[in-house]
Amino acid sequence: MRLFLFISLGLLLSVTAYSQKRLIVAADGSGNYKTIQQAINAVADSSKQVTVIYIKKGIYKEKLILPATKLNVKMIGEDKSNTIITYDDYHARKDSTGKEIGTSGSASFYIYGAGFSAENLTIQNTAGLNAGQAVALWVAGDLAFFKNCRFLGFQDTLYTFGPGSRQLYVACYIEGTVDFIFGAATAWFQNCTIYCKKGGGFVTAASTPDSVKYGYVFKNCNITGDAPSQSFYLGRPWRPYAKVVYINCDLGTQIIAQGWDFWRKESNKTTAYYAEYKNTGDGFKPDDRVNWSHQLTEAEASLYTINNVLKGWNPNATIK
C-alpha cells in the first residue's frame, strides 16, 4: 500500500511538473531573468504546456511583445501595486524613419499569443494627458484572462484589439480619459473599477464587427472617477456595429444623463447596440437616456451569461 501511494504521489508530481514550466523575473538578479522580455523569449514556441512567469516587485520599463507563437503564458506579479510594466510611447512619436508610430505602435505591452493570463500586475503608459492616444495594453490573442490587475493611462488605455477574440477581466482597475477601453474584441468585465479621469469624456469606443454577436459586457462594475459630474459618456461607436452592455453596475455622477454618444454619424444610432440592465447610482438615469439605447428586459438580460458571451470559455468558474 505504501509503495502504491509513493508511486501515485510521484506520478502526480511528475504530471504537475510537466504541465507547468516556471520562470522567475527579478530586476535585482535574484531570479532566472532580469527582464520580462527575456522570460517571454525563453518560452517554448507553440507549447501546450502552461508557462508561469513570476515577476518580483519592481518597475520594469520595457516595451513588451508576447508573439503569437508563445501560447498559454501566465504572468503572476508579486504585488499589483508594486509590480509595474511601464512605457511612455504615444501615437505622434516618430520611429527611426521619421514616421509616426500611431495608436497601434504606442502600446507598452502587446499580447498576440492565445491562452495568456495575468494576475497582480500593473500595466501602464506614462505618456501623459496631453500626449493623445497612448496605449498601455494591446490584446489580440484569444482566451486572454486578467485578474486583479491595474491598467493605467489616459487616452486609449486598454486596446482590446482582436476582432471577436475572447477576453475576461476580473477585479481589475482600468483608468483613462478618452475611449480608454476600445477595440473589436468580445470582452467581459466582472467586478472591475472603471475610473474616469479629469480631462476625458468617453469610457468605451467599441469597434465590434457586424458578424460578432457580443462586444463589451460590464457586470457588477463600479464606474467612478475624479472627473466632473456629467462629463463622461458610457460609450461611443468607433465602428458602426459597436455593442456594449452594462449590467448591475454602479454608475457614478461622472456619467452624462443621456448615456451614449453617436460619434457625429446619425446612422450609428441604428447600427450600434447600447444597453443597460438594473444599473444603480447617480449616473443611472434611464428616463434621460438617448432613445436609441436600450433598457433590457429580464428575459433579454438572461442571455448575457459568460458562457454565451465567451462561447463556452470560462477560466473562472465562480462567474456565471
C-alpha span between 39 and 70 (Å, rounded): 11
CA distances from 82 to 77, 96, 260 (A): 9, 32, 35
Question: Cell 486598454 appears where?
Answer: 158
Cα–Cα distances (Å) from 69 to 46, 54, 66, 112, 146, in that order, read 5, 20, 8, 8, 20
> Which residues contact residue 21 at a Cβ distance below 8 angstroms, ignoring those fewer than 6 apart?
43, 44, 47, 49, 50, 51, 52
Alpha carbons 174 and 169: distance in angstroms, whole number: 10
* Residue 79 among the catalytic residues: no
Count Cβ atoms below 10 Å from residue 292 Cβ, excluding itself.
15
C-alpha distances in Å from residue 65, one per residue of 13, 175, 229, 230, 236: 32, 22, 38, 38, 29
- Candidates 89, 156, 179, 261; catalytic one: 179
Contact 141, 112 (CB under 8 A): yes
Q: Report the amino acid identity of residue 144.
A: A
- Using an 8 Å Cβ cutoff, are 166 and 142 in contact? yes
For 120-192, strand residue ranges (E) read: 122-125, 137-139, 144-147, 150-152, 158-160, 166-170, 173-176, 178-183, 186-190
Judged on CB neighbours under 10 Å (0-12, 13-18, 19+), 38 is middle
Helix H or strand E segment including 204: strand 202-206
Which active-site residues does the annotation give?
179
